[in-house]
A and B are shown apart, each in its own frame.
Chain A
C-alpha cells in the first residue's frame, strides 16, 4: 500500500516537473535558435572555396539531460512491448538542439561566420541500471570559420 502511494507520488512528480522542465527548455531552445540562425551550421565536409581569409577553430557544445521518472516508467513498459519510445524522443530532440546551440554560441563568441563539418555524438549515462534514471549526453562539434579581424 505504502509502496503504491510512493510510486504514484513519484510518477506524478515526474510527470509534473518533467513537463514543466520540457516546455521551459523548448521555449528557450526556440528563442536561441532564432537568435543564432545567423550562424549556419553545415554538415558538409567541403569548406567554401575561394575565400581564404578565414581562421578555423574547433567549437563544441555538450549537454546532459535526464529523463524523468514518469517517462522512464513508460519507456520501461515499452521495452516489453516494443514500438516508438516517444518518451525518449523529446529527450533526444532537446539534447541535440541544445548541444548545437551551445556549439553555435561558442562560435558566435569567437566571431565565426559559420560552422562547417558539424558532427553529433550521443552517449547514454546509467545504461538501464536498475533503479537509476537514464540520462543522455549529446556532444556537437564542428569547425568554425572566423573571418580575419585585420581590416
Chain B
C-alpha cells in the first residue's frame, strides 16, 4: 500500500512527492540460522587450530629432542628442587631406584636424581633435568616393592624419552600461538575456547607419554621381577583412590586408569611370565620410617 501524503511545491523545485511505503522485512538482516554459522565457525576454528598446533608441536619436537641433556640439567629447576626438598632420600628408596634405573637402559649421559618429599600429596612426577619427585602421600598407599618400582620406573621412563622437555616446549609453542590469537580476537570467551583447544592438543601428547612410560615401566618390572603384577597393583590403588567417574579422557592429562590397565593387559598377554601373588612386600622399617613427621 502506497499512500501519497502531500506534495511540496517550491519555485526552484518543480515538485517533490513524499510517500510512505511499507518496507519489506529482512533487507538488513541475514536469514541464515545462526546455529549453522555457529557450527561452521566453531568446528572450523577448533579444527584449524588443532591441526596447526599439532603440526607446530611435531616441528618443535624435532628440535627439542636435540637439546642436550646436560643443558637441561643446568636449568634453575635443579636448584629449586634441592632447596625445597632437603629431606634425605631413605636408603631403601635409593636401592630400589638404582635397581629400576639400571633395568631401563638409559643413555650414559643421563643422570637421574630421586627426591623424596615428606608431604601428604598423593603424587609422583618427573621434571626437567632428570629429577624425579616422590611424595610420602603416594608411598604410604603402596604395599609392595613391585608397586614402588612401577612408580619409579614410570617416572624414569618419562626422563628416558625426554618427556619433560618435550612437554615444556609444547607449552611454550601453544602459549605463544594462543596469545597471538587471543590478542587479535579481542574477546575473552573466544580466547577461552581456543585456549581449551590448545590445552586439549597439548594434553593429548601428555596422555601418549603416559602410555609410553607405562609400557617401559612394565618392561622394567618384567626384567626385575619376572612379572608385571606391580603395574596392576598400582593401577588398582589409583582406581580406589579417586576413580574415573565423571572424567572424560580427552580433557585430562592422564589416561583413564581402566585404559592404562587395558594397555598393560595387552602388553603382558601371551608373554610367558611368572604367576601372580609373588610380589615383594615393602619392608616394615621403610613403612614406619615414612610415618615420621
Contacts and interface: CB of A to CB of B under 8 A. Distances in A.
Interface of A: 1, 3-4, 7, 15, 30, 33-34, 37, 40, 42, 44, 46, 48-50, 69-81, 84, 86-87, 89-90, 92-93, 114, 128, 130-131
B176 interface: no
Given A1-B251, A40-B5, A114-B5, A78 B41 contact: yes
A105 B202 CA distance: 58
B30 A74 contact: no
Given A73-B193, A76-B187, 19 more contacts: A1-B248, A7-B192, A7-B193, A30-B25, A37-B20, A40-B18, A44-B18, A48-B6, A72-B189, A73-B38, A76-B186, A80-B185, A81-B45, A84-B30, A86-B37, A92-B28, A128-B186, A130-B186, A130-B187
B29 A86 contact: yes
Nearest to B35: A15
A49 B187 CA distance: 52
Contact of B20 (A3, A40, A46, A76): A40
Nearest to B195: A3
Nearest to A42: B18
B8 interface: yes
Interface in B223-250: 246-248
Chain A CB within 10 Å — which of B181, B188, B189 has the most? B189
A15 to B, nearest CB: 7
Nearest to A50: B9
Given A79-B185, A79-B186, A86 B192 contact: no
Contacts, number: 99
A74 B44 CA distance: 12
B121 interface: no
Interface string B158-200: 0000000000000000000000010011111110110010000
A80 B186 CA distance: 9
Contacts of B6: 48
Given A37-B22, A50-B9, A93-B29, A87 B192 contact: no
Nearest to A40: B20
The 8 closest A-B pairs by CB, nearest first: A76-B187, A86-B30, A76-B190, A130-B188, A77-B41, A49-B10, A93-B28, A89-B29
Contacts of A49: 8-10
Contacts of A30: 25
Contacts of B22: 33-34, 37
A74 B196 contact: no
23 contacts: A1-B246, A1-B247, A1-B251, A7-B193, A15-B35, A33-B22, A44-B16, A44-B18, A49-B8, A50-B9, A71-B34, A76-B187, A77-B45, A77-B190, A81-B45, A86-B29, A87-B37, A89-B30, A90-B30, A93-B28, A114-B5, A128-B187, A130-B187
Nearest to B31: A86
B42 interface: yes
A131 B188 CA distance: 5
